[in-house]
Chains A and B, each alone.
Chain A
Amino acid sequence: AQSVTQLGSHVSVSEGALVLLRCNYSSSVPPYLFWYVQYPNQGLQLLLKYTSAATLVKGINGFEAEFKKSETSFHLTKPSAHMSDAAEYFCAVSHSGAGSYQLTFGKGTKLSVIP
């Protein structure tokens, strides 16, 4: 069974400050890990993904995440927050097995950016 825990349902940062959104996963098999962003009243947009290649993954809009197997973590970071980053962020895990595309999501972290 797989599960994802996102620490902090709501995170507030000042514009220009570091963004750190935490994600811990549980998986009995090597995982694929994803971060998605959801703007109000919209669907999910893929920010970045880890698929067992490089442990430091760079995504769109200046975001990156590091896969740490020993800590079962996949935290999302961005050096300098922008007002347009305000949204809800979801971490998700799936099996790395072929043909399995079932994503298990965390409950999400709402990011607010203070001017």
Chain B
Amino acid sequence: DAGVTQSPTHLIKTRGQQVTLRCSPKSGHDTVSWYQQALGQGPQFIFQYYEEEERQRGNFPDRFSGHQFPNYSSELNVNALLLGDSALYLCASTKQGANTIYFGEGSWLTVV
């Protein structure tokens, strides 16, 4: 049973560019969340998707947007990249009604 899978694992972007990160949830899960983990910090909640809609959002600017597809996979888009966006981006999935949240290995984004 595959867990939460994310791609790409590493990428380097230039300031001002846009990036798309992808996530496939664990089999049977229908809810996907995204977190940003800066170096030396705990993960920070970005937003959560369920039934292809954004259900909750953390304290992140509109430059951060997402999408959930009918197969429950998800994308995180970040526009107008800043140096401060350099971080590990973690995708997490769960099933509505459950209380266990599983994380993927993350996508390392470096903005230069």
Contact = CB atoms under 8 A, between A and B. Distances in A.
Interface stretch (A12-20, A75-83, A100-108): A100-108
Contacts of A106: 42
Contacts of B92: 44, 101, 103
B102 A108 contact: no
Contacts of B43: 44, 90, 103, 105
B48 A101 contact: yes
B42 A108 contact: yes
Interface of B: 4, 31, 33, 35, 40-45, 48, 50, 55-56, 58, 90, 92, 94, 96-97, 99-106
Interface of A: 4, 32, 34, 36, 42-46, 49, 51, 90, 92, 94, 96, 98-108
Pairs A-B, 7 closest by C-beta atoms? A105-B42, A44-B103, A43-B105, A43-B103, A43-B106, A51-B99, A102-B45
25 contacts: A4-B42, A34-B101, A43-B4, A43-B104, A43-B105, A43-B106, A44-B90, A46-B102, A49-B100, A51-B99, A94-B101, A99-B96, A101-B33, A101-B48, A101-B56, A102-B56, A103-B33, A103-B35, A103-B43, A103-B45, A103-B92, A103-B101, A105-B43, A105-B44, A107-B42
